[in-house]
Structure 1
Amino acid sequence: MRQTSDADAEAWVLTTDPGRALLQEVAMTSTYGPTELQRWRRGATPEHVAAAVRLAVGRSRGKAKFSRAEAMWFEPVGLEQATTETVARHKAERFRGSHVLDLCCGIGGDTLALASEAQVVAVDADQGMCRRTRWNAHVYDVADRVDVIRAQVERIAYRSQSLVHVDPDRRQGSAKRARELLGYSPGLEFLQALPGRVRGGAIKLGPASDFVTHFGEQPCELELISLGGECKEATVWFGALATCRRRATRLPEAVSWTDQDGPRNPLVPIASPLAWVYDPDPALGRSGLLDSFAAANGLARCAPGIDFLTGPEPIDSPFLACFEVLEILPLDLKTIGKLVTARKLGPLEIKTKGTDLRPEALRAQWKPRGPHPATLLLMGGKGTSRAILARRRSPAVSQAQPIA
């Protein structure tokens, strides 16, 4: 995390007339070259100019996560690790009407959503992050529902009736994001002990982390949350806030699939691609519920260990991207390239599973600039590699279960 001196410089930019004027000028500039920096430094110190640039860049990037980003106080790593507003509001609904401890609050992404539903005490060891959370609480008009304290979360006292949300640091002073929970801070020992110390709560983990290894057998609910088709986080719900064992949730449609919705021990057949092929939402796969969903909807896998599903009829669900099969080809790049040119395909959507082929590189190689939109589904696997030329079907009404 950045040092408090950076927070002091940013606070000057945000709270003084010269600082706000500087920030406004920086925010209206598309590039920050030597000429611009030299001009700004005539009226402000290099530290204040750097702070204004950080704030302007943060607000620009923050618009992808927050609806009021143009007024918020961001820090680069804090913004990257902050929960997207849509996801945070989804989680906050379970805390409605409670008093919540939000541990490792960072810039306050989860704090702001929690405060719309509950009274919140936000805790972080970094004084700069505490200042940012207070500021952002005012931006979202929830400052009267948020108390912010600076403390090491491992050292504070927990009441047995408390509800807790924790977003552990996944970098811990390193530029590289930790995938193993052993690299999180607070550490795995604290995270695993937390359910026994409070009434209930949630632990935010990375969706690509080894959460199943450490929490898969615990008496808790593992929820995988996707937003717009990208898996955003694995949430461990425990105690009074757990509702099932596994849950896959897709936002913004607000639909979910749990271990209670499908067969307990699903047997999903393997079949060559039929009339329709489906690319399932990644939350289904990461939650371990893909076979349950497939079996309940009469679908088969296209190949062992490959998360493309297939069936004879189209199925409408936010959890499935649906493709009509036009042709099945060997996974031979030269053959496919000739087909792309001959059929005048373009734009060309490319999806891959079980292979290290990169869609961007393939598009650059094939140059699909024709007038006929298409999709290529490329799947690897020993003895099962193939390419499917397909047409994407427009989504219709959801058949998935709405979140209660």
Structure 2
Amino acid sequence: MDAASLSKLLSPEGWALLNALPPYDDQQAMVLATRLRAEGVDPDLAAAALTQSRLRAKARGKLGAFAEGMLLTPDGLEQATRLVVAAQHARRYLAAGVTRVADLTCGIGADSLAFAGVGLDVLATDLDEVTAALATVNLRAFPEASVRHADGLGLDLVAEGVDGVYADPARRTRGGRRIFDPAAYAPPLDAVWALRDQVPALGIKVGPGIPHHGLPADAETQWVSVDGDVVEAGLWFGPLAPDGPGRSAHVLRAVAVPADGGAHDGAESSGTITRTLRTGPQDADLVPDVGQVGAYLYEPDGAVVRAGLVAHAADELGGRLVDRTIAYVTTDAPAPAPPSGTAAIATGYRVLDVMPFNLKKLKAYLRERGVGRLTVKKRGTAVTPEQLRAQLALKGDAAATLVLTRVAGRQHVLVVEPLAGGR
């Protein structure tokens, strides 16, 4: 969005038009645009309003009902933190005793919304003038939040009364390509985590693909998944890491943002359950067993895998790995249920058959059982599900789930069925 489009949307006419539009329907967008032009609406204003309507509809999955009152950009929405995860961030700052947070790279203001929603004072900054203006609009309901068009790294944090810092450096180029080198983030990761010398309570959102080597030794590095999708990693310093440095995996399940978007307190809905696994001082001796496939197979959550906590998952599940290099855990009996009110750290399956990978024999196996619908999961194999389905030429009404993986170093096929409730 450019400054001219923003100005049009913020005019009384533009704001009224935007909020009067019907729920976005991609199939009706052209019809609606034609109608608006016929009614004499400025074409640029109509285009800007329809773009915002489309982005708001897309944003509901991340931002709940807050999206209906926000101004958005595609890049800003892409990088914005999900409301349920931003709420976790905000509670971390509250628990650390922080009262005033500087959100140094606020973007459209998603995390600042959560900070302000739990009662924290917020100083939000962004280098881009239009983006800072959008954040100002999006935070208008919170007098405890102020936004500046400024370089957050240039703030005098002590003079500003800041006792907590948060940053979400840009991890994409202007062309949309992902940046994997932390030194190429904007701002560079080294420059941000150096701020902990001024304000120990420092949190930094980073991409979940960040390598383990080179992570600061004094940080808790936490990978977060939401309903099985790994969405971010975070570096937490000082009082924001009360359990000390190390690696952790935070798993959120059954996320459902209520119609009121969480009601301004940053809270999750009652349906959300969470679980955290973390490394500890005793972990040097934690080496998982490796053995034959048992009666059950467990697929650790993606955050657990990214955090390098598969051995911890195997230990908790009471199982062993099917291969030392593969993140599948097998057990001879059903794994214990997760503690009450917490998320499962792995998805469970009952093992029906195990066979070495052989395309001809697999095709015959599935044909004999009338399998026409196939779910394929894979780890440690170059075979693609799409290629396999084409080669199998499936016919029939039955459904099956296959796991393609290595067992003791050799390619195997596991025929499985999901356990009730996934565990």
* Length-normalised TM-score, structure 2: 0.83
Shift of 1:28: 4.9
Shift of 1:116: 2.0
Task: Give 3-state SS (helix, strand or coil) of 1:174's partner.
Answer: coil
Distance 2:308 2:390 in 1: 34
Corresponding position of 1:40: 36
The reply to whether residue 59 of structure 1 matches residue 56 of structure 2 is yes
Distance 2:289 2:274 in 1: 29
Corresponding position of 1:327: 353
The reply to whether residue 11 of structure 1 matches residue 10 of structure 2 is yes
Distance 2:207 2:171 in 1: 8
Residue range with higher mean Cα deviation, 387-396 or 318-327? 387-396
Distance 1:113 1:120 in 2: 10
Distance 2:400 2:116 in 1: 45
State the Cα deviation string for residues 312-360 of structure 1 (Å, max 9, x = none).
1111341111111110122234433333332123643221111233334
Is the Cα contact below 8 Å between 1:162 and 1:200 reproduced in 2?
yes
Identity over aligned pairs, percent: 28
Distance 2:373 2:281 in 1: 37
Distance 2:234 2:350 in 1: 34
Shift of 1:73: 1.8
Report the AA paired with residue 249 of structure 1: H
Task: Give 3-state SS (helix, strand or coil) of 1:348's partner.
Answer: strand
Report the AA paired with residue 258 of structure 1: R
Distance 2:379 2:13 in 1: 47
Is the Cα contact below 8 Å between 2:224 and 2:249 reproduced in 1?
yes
Corresponding position of 1:149: 148
Is the Cα contact below 8 Å between 1:164 and 1:202 reproduced in 2?
yes
Is the Cα contact below 8 Å between 1:12 and 1:48 reproduced in 2?
no
Corresponding position of 1:309: 329
Corresponding position of 2:265: none
The reply to whether residue 270 of structure 1 matches residue 273 of structure 2 is no
Distance 1:14 1:182 in 2: 44
Q: Please, which of 106, 131, 134 is the counterpart of residue 132 of structure 1?
A: 134
Distance 1:73 1:13, change over 3 A: farther
Is the Cα contact below 8 Å between 1:262 and 1:292 reproduced in 2?
no
Distance 1:173 1:67 in 2: 27
Alignment of 1:4-403 (within 5 A): 4-12=3-11, 15-21=14-20, 24=21, 27-28=24-25, 30-33=27-30, 37-42=33-38, 43-68=40-65, 69-96=67-94, 98-117=99-118, 118-138=120-140, 141=141, 143-159=142-158, 162-210=163-211, 212-215=212-215, 217-242=216-241, 243-244=243-244, 245-252=246-253, 253-260=273-280, 263-315=283-335, 316-317=337-338, 318-345=344-371, 347-363=373-389, 366=392, 370-380=396-406, 383-395=409-421
Report the AA paired with residue 204 of structure 1: K
Distance 1:155 1:333, change over 3 A: farther
Shift of 1:62: 0.7
Task: Give 3-state SS (helix, strand or coil) of 1:391's partner.
Answer: strand
Is the Cα contact below 8 Å between 1:374 and 1:392 reproduced in 2?
no
Distance 2:180 2:321 in 1: 28
Report the AA paired with residue 124 of structure 1: D
Is the Cα contact below 8 Å between 1:73 and 1:132 reproduced in 2?
yes
Residue range with higher mean Cα deviation, 294-303 or 119-128? 294-303
Task: Give 3-state SS (helix, strand or coil) of 1:178's partner.
Answer: coil
Distance 2:56 2:393 in 1: 35
| Structure 1 unaligned spans of 5+ | 398-404
Distance 2:7 2:373 in 1: 49
Distance 1:16 1:231 in 2: 36
State the Cα deviation string for residues 166-222 of structure 1 (Å, max 9, x = none).
111112423112122122100133123122221212100010133x2332x421100
Is the Cα contact below 8 Å between 1:163 and 1:199 reproduced in 2?
yes
Task: Give 3-state SS (helix, strand or coil) of 2:203's partner.
Answer: strand
State the Cα deviation string for residues 60-114 of structure 1 (Å, max 9, x = none).
1111111112332221110011011111111211111621111211111111111
Residue range with higher mean Cα deviation, 78-87 or 328-337? 328-337
Shift of 1:50: 2.2
Distance 1:28 1:384, change over 3 A: closer
Task: Give 3-state SS (helix, strand or coil) of 1:65's partner.
Answer: helix
Distance 1:278 1:233 in 2: 23
Distance 1:161 1:74 in 2: 27
Is the Cα contact below 8 Å between 1:346 and 1:369 reproduced in 2?
yes
